[in-house]
A and B are shown apart, each in its own frame.
Chain A
């Protein structure tokens, strides 16, 4: 079904990937800590190595909870499926997460 209108109804998406250049929006959910009411949203370069993404983005955010231990996160997954081999330090793009995709972890 499409929008009923009196004219040709076709507009570009407001958050389409090209608006972010070489970056993408990535969501990160700390799945078993409901202190964080929802997953976080970050803007990061697709080519960013995993270690930088975690240290520069995830760790400062997760540290909002004073009980956060940066060594504790495990079970990294993309969109509830593919595991991320964090030891291989992939780039964000290599993890398989897409623009507005979701990465989850547990502690």
Chain B
């Protein structure tokens, strides 16, 4: 028998193995694909541009894994962790493992669900491949980063932390919002908004940060995941266009979801913004530059003019995000600095050189609004103290970030919005988060807000040590970097190496 082409094999796999149920109503076989209001007339018009089959998929992934694990082994054997720019860099890795890796796992689970519950065999198989990708990313991230766990704090209990810790409720609640939506909203939220629209602002900063700071292992993981990510991006745009083309009635529903998930994703990325501008000893680019390149140039000027053809306009509230590019990273890192005694990573005052880099990168705002805060923190440090926020913060009901964002265009006034629903008040950090609440209040009144949960006695106790123990943290996981076990070990190992080198 002649060998089949890849195209023929794909067609056999996704079409010939499928059948139309006749004993049972398809609406019972696929119960989730009608209630959201999205109309699909022809599932077969979905085309996976990659036409993956099981054998080709396994072959590519096995080759990539082989390369990655060879690098991880040699990195570990060669004490590669000592070649980082500084142990301080690992705070970015801690944030990634605690905040992003569990999302990969959640994505794995939900794409597995879609691989069963979408009506069309093409989309089902694409969802299956993505589900396996996400599981593989979870595993390779754990394996890549676990080698640092032998030497540094904050990496030992990331899974439990993701479910409990206050700043990790930001990514967790984001993804839970997607998982608890219907399949089409999930595809808009995760495949389109997260994997296409915003992905370069998430993935590139972490992986370039790794490469700039000597983290060869994480950089290699990035390369290994990159071809999957570009496949997910193509699918993300493909699935959006598929839904748009199926029925005109889908357009307003999808616009609404694009509006919601832009703001949800953008608020989540504020943690990445803080990481980029403050946690990397060697900077890649500023958040503002990344935002201008990846969001304004590539998406607003590239993608959205193309989507206009379908009747889709740029996301609601995007103009506020553009205004905030001058402030956001500073405000969110200041939140993390205020509360790092309750976090599983360290923060510290930027060095003089970094402060100058921040001034140069943010000429209109940094010296005026944020350098004075760091100067004051330095004064407190000079007199032997460390500024920590001695209390618990007000949280946004939707994004769950402490309400440290300011009024658009006014960086000195904290922005507070609120809504009343069934005689109870809810607070928000921004017009975007308030708009998201107001369209589905029944959903967000259930938010597990870490501060309110502590006050209801659900987090191990009333004192900070009780709560940190319940979070699964250990002494030294958080707090000031200058006084951290990570810094002490790093200095000691490098002093030993210097002494050894002199002999």
Contact = CB atoms under 8 A, between A and B. Distances in A.
Interface stretch (A9-17, A45-53, A70-78, A88-96): A9-17
Interface string B449-484: 101110110000000000000000000000000000
A20 B35 CA distance: 37
B446 A41 contact: no
Nearest to B422: A13
Contacts of A80: 416
Contact of B452 (A11, A15, A63, A66): A15
Contacts of A19: 456
B373 A40 contact: no
A17 B421 CA distance: 13
A41 B35 contact: no
Interface in B322-380: 331, 334-335, 337-339, 369, 373, 376-377, 380
Contact of B455 (A4, A16, A20, A65): A20
A102 B416 contact: yes
Contacts of A64: 387-391
B439 A38 contact: no
Given A14-B449, A15-B452, A16-B424, A37 B387 contact: no
Contacts of A36: 338, 389
Contacts of A5: 35
A34 B455 contact: no
A63 B424 contact: no
Nearest to B35: A6
Interface of B: 31-32, 35-37, 182, 331, 334-335, 337-339, 369, 373, 376-377, 380, 383, 385, 387-395, 402-404, 412-414, 416, 421-422, 424-427, 439-440, 442-443, 445-449, 451-453, 455-456
A82 interface: no
B446 A4 contact: no
A6 B391 contact: no
A2 B443 CA distance: 9
Contact of A61 (B37, B391, B395, B452): B391
B394 A11 contact: no
7 closest Cβ contacts across the A-B interface?
A: A13-B445, A64-B390, A61-B391, A37-B404, A39-B394, A38-B402, A43-B455
Nearest to A11: B446
A96 B15 CA distance: 66
B442 A3 contact: yes
B387 A11 contact: no
Contact of A98 (B339, B412, B425, B439): B425
Given A3-B443, A29-B414, A15 B449 contact: yes
Interface of A: 1-6, 9-17, 19-20, 25, 27, 29, 31-32, 34-43, 60-61, 63-66, 80, 98-102
Given A2-B440, A38-B402, A66 B380 contact: yes
6 contacts: A4-B37, A13-B424, A14-B445, A38-B335, A43-B455, A65-B387
B425 A41 contact: no
A84 to B, nearest CB: 17
Given A39-B394, A43-B455, A9 B442 contact: yes
A63 B369 CA distance: 22
Contacts of B402: 37-38
A66 to B, nearest CB: 6
A5 B446 CA distance: 16
Contacts of A27: 394, 427
A1 B447 CA distance: 18
A14 B442 contact: no
Contacts of B36: 4
Nearest to B443: A3
A19 B448 CA distance: 14
B334 A37 contact: yes
A11 B442 contact: yes
A36 B377 CA distance: 11
Given A10-B442, A11-B445, A37-B404, A42 B391 contact: yes
Nearest to B339: A37
A38 B404 contact: yes
Contacts of B387: 35, 64-65
Interface-centre pick from B335, B424, B453 (highest chain A CB count, 10 A): B424
Given A4-B37, A20-B456, A38-B402, 19 more contacts: A9-B442, A9-B443, A13-B424, A14-B449, A20-B455, A25-B452, A27-B427, A29-B416, A37-B404, A38-B335, A41-B391, A41-B395, A42-B392, A64-B387, A64-B388, A65-B387, A100-B424, A100-B425, A102-B394
B482 to A, nearest CB: 18
A35 B386 CA distance: 12
Given A10-B442, A35-B373, A38-B414, A99 B331 contact: no
B445 A60 contact: no
Contact of B403 (A4, A31, A38): A38
B446 A13 contact: yes
